Amino acid sequence: MLYRQFEKTSQPKVSILIPVFNREEFIGDCIASALNQTFSDIEIIVFDNASTDKTWDICKEFSLTDSRMRIFQQCKNVGPVRNWISCAQEARGMYAKVLFSDDLLEPDCIEKMQFKMNDDIAFVYSSVKIGEGEENSKINYLIGGNNKIIKFEEYMNYIVTGKVPYSPGAALFRTKDLNKNLHVNFKTAISHDYENHGAGPDLMIYLLTFENYKFSYYISSPLVFFRAHPGSFTIGSRNKDIINSYRSVISLFLRKKKSKSYWAKYLAYEWIRLIFRNNYIPIKKFISQNEGANTKLEYILFYIGIIIYMQIILKRLFFSVFGKKSES
């Protein structure tokens, strides 16, 4: 492992972590957005995963201009998740903000996020802008017009319906929680390539962290920009294998940490979504693929979940049709 770093005598409050591999086109803007934060008590840690382009040279140039930067390079490519872990292990701040190398922070991101952290808050996250460029981006993960404190059950409902980001790049964590809850792999019923695509380890940081706190905190204004381009995870996450990986880790978490009814309700919702997308999977197979043992109780809970969600769908359909007619 190669080291090039500038030491600070005092511990920063927030560490901004930038894991990177072959991002010469974007890494400069990414680092600049970290250095230009209105909150100054920070360090920026860059861990290059043995890039083969000019990424490392760009990082070295930045490190010469600002003493808050500490940069590192792997001797060989260790895969994305292990590089995330290397980055987190170097953090000296009380809080850690992951910033992926093709993304950007708003200037007041760290200031606003760290201000909302307290003993009861697991993490602070915001809505995000997603697009090829900031000027043509769209805001995602809005759950209302105001900032709000979120309880675990509410947060899980947002996960099920896709209303919260899975990427840790949208949130501020305690450094100790990030190091504790960032894992390379998970023993799910069907194995996935978690180590090399990161879909699963990223979301589990949120879930495992939330276990030990009362709330999370949501900031409605987008404080992070996720760049969508052919090589980005934002685009890659639409892949079927990635979707199945997320379903597996959510199922594992609910089965191990929550109740069977919560787990079955989630699977029922996912199964119905597959049906509406013309992707039928036999129920027995679907349950066994997602941490089930195909017991009688599981089937009962699963069918109850289907009834609950079909009622919700029919109610929404009724109001969308007849509600408009009554207005006219």
Identify whether residues 59 and 205 lie together within a single domain.
yes
Instruction: Tally DSSP H helices, then E strands, for the chain.
Output: 13, 11
Measured CA distances, 115 to 39, 134, 219, 275 (Å) = 10, 25, 11, 43
pLDDT confidence of residue 257: 85
The reply to whether 194 and 82 lie within a common domain is yes
CA atoms within 13 A on the CB side of 73: 18
Task: Note whether 83 and 22 are within 8 A (CB).
Answer: no
**Same domain, residue pair 33 and 173:** yes
Classify residue 190 by its DSSP letter: S
160 and 102 assigned to the same domain:
yes
Same domain as 303, residue 192? no
d(CA 86, CA 149): 31
DSSP annotation of 67 reads T
- The pLDDT assigned to 2 comes to 47
Nearest to 273 by CA among 161, 186, 195: 161
- 171 lies in the same domain as 233: yes
Q: Is residue 104 part of a domain?
A: yes
Domain boundary among 176, 211, 240: 240
Q: Looking at the 3D structure of the chain, how many domains does it have?
A: 2
| pLDDT tens-place string over residues 61-113 | 999 999 999 999 999 999 999 999 999 999 999 999 999 999 999 999 999 99
Residues comprising the chain, all counted: 328
Q: Using alpha carbons only, how large is the chain's radius of gyration in Å?
A: 21
Based on the domain organization, do 187 and 289 belong to the same domain?
no
User: Does a structural domain hold residue 217?
Assistant: yes
Residues 49 and 160 in one domain: yes
Query: Do 234 and 190 belong together in one domain?
Result: yes
Q: What is the pLDDT of residue 328?
A: 47
In a domain? residue 246: no
User: By residue range, what is the domain housing residue 283?
Assistant: 259-327
Asked if residue 248 belongs to a domain, the reply is: no
Do residues 64 and 35 lie in contact, with contact meaning Cβ atoms separated by under 8 Å? no
How many angstroms separate the Cα of 247 from the Cα of each of 82, 97, 254, 287? 22, 25, 11, 11
Q: Alpha carbon of 41 to those of 102, 164, 187, 216: distances in Å?
A: 23, 28, 39, 23
* Domain-terminating residue out of 178, 211, 240: 240
Q: Tell which residue, 37, 144, 161, 142, has the closest CA to residue 99.
A: 37
| Domain contains 252 | no
Same domain flag for 21 and 82: yes
Same domain for 213 and 264, yes or no, is no
**CA 108 to CA 119: how far, in whole Å?**
22
- With respect to residue 61, please indicate whether it lies within any of the assigned structural domains: yes
Structural domain contains residue 251: no
pLDDT of residue 1: 46
User: Which H/E stretch holds residue 225?
Assistant: strand 215-227
> Mind listing the pLDDT tens digit of every residue in the chain (328 residues)?
444 444 444 689 999 999 999 999 999 999 999 999 999 999 999 999 999 999 999 999 999 999 999 999 999 999 999 999 999 999 999 999 999 999 999 999 999 999 999 999 999 999 999 999 888 899 999 998 899 999 998 998 898 788 999 999 999 999 999 999 999 999 999 999 999 999 999 999 999 999 999 999 999 999 999 998 666 544 444 588 899 999 999 999 999 888 898 899 999 999 998 998 899 999 999 999 999 998 999 999 999 999 988 887 777 766 666 665 544 4
CB distance 187 to 256 below 8 Å: no
In a domain, 293, yes or no: yes
**15 and 71, same domain (yes or no):** yes
Domain at 105, CATH number: 3.90.550.10
Residue 6 has a pLDDT of 46
- Please report where in the chains the tokens 């992070």 appear, as a residue: 224
What is the Cα–Cα distance from 223 to 129, expressed in whole angstroms?
8
